[in-house]
Amino acid sequence: MRPLAALLAGLVALAPAAALAQQRPPAPASKPAEPAAPEPDGPPYEPQLLQLAEIMGSLAYLRTLCGGKEARDWRDRMAALVEAEGRTPQRRDRLTAAFNRGFKAYALTHRACTDASQEAASRLADQGGQLSRTLAGRYGG
């Protein structure tokens, strides 16, 4: 099974995860910064993968807020996704940014675990599961 297919198969069950932001040291002051090499086009499934990363970030926040026992798993799964799909620094940055967007979006409006928080987490888990199955079926080969 290819790495993406294996990863997506694990995500289909949607047992939690999230992103590890990779920090690069700044360029030395003595050298002029070199322009970044242009990144090749991403895979055809990149928009869906970024959407999945954003959902994972949202779930990481909501499950932690509501004390879900699998809350830490979302970060671990996101780390696995970045490892499998982050072939370039730009891709890793996009995946991490998507995860963080999802996390921050719910952090702005959900300060305590409520019925609405639990409903949002349930809806997102369903949406993420469907998206994972679609990606695995179409691109998991």
pLDDT for 26 equals 40
**7 domain-assigned:** yes
pLDDT for 15 equals 37
pLDDT for 121 equals 95
User: pLDDT tens digits, the chain, 141 residues: what are they?
Assistant: 455 655 555 555 443 333 222 233 344 444 445 555 455 677 899 999 999 999 999 999 999 999 988 888 999 999 999 999 998 999 999 999 999 999 999 999 999 999 999 999 999 999 999 999 999 999 886
**71 domain-assigned:** yes
**Is this prediction's pTM over 0.85?**
no
Per the structure, the count of domains in the chain is 1
**36 domain-assigned:** no
The whole domain housing 102 covers 3-19+44-139
pLDDT for 128 equals 96
**28 domain-assigned:** no
**77 domain-assigned:** yes
**95 domain-assigned:** yes
**90 domain-assigned:** yes
User: How far is residue 44's CA from residue 62's CA, in Å, rounded to a whole number?
Assistant: 29
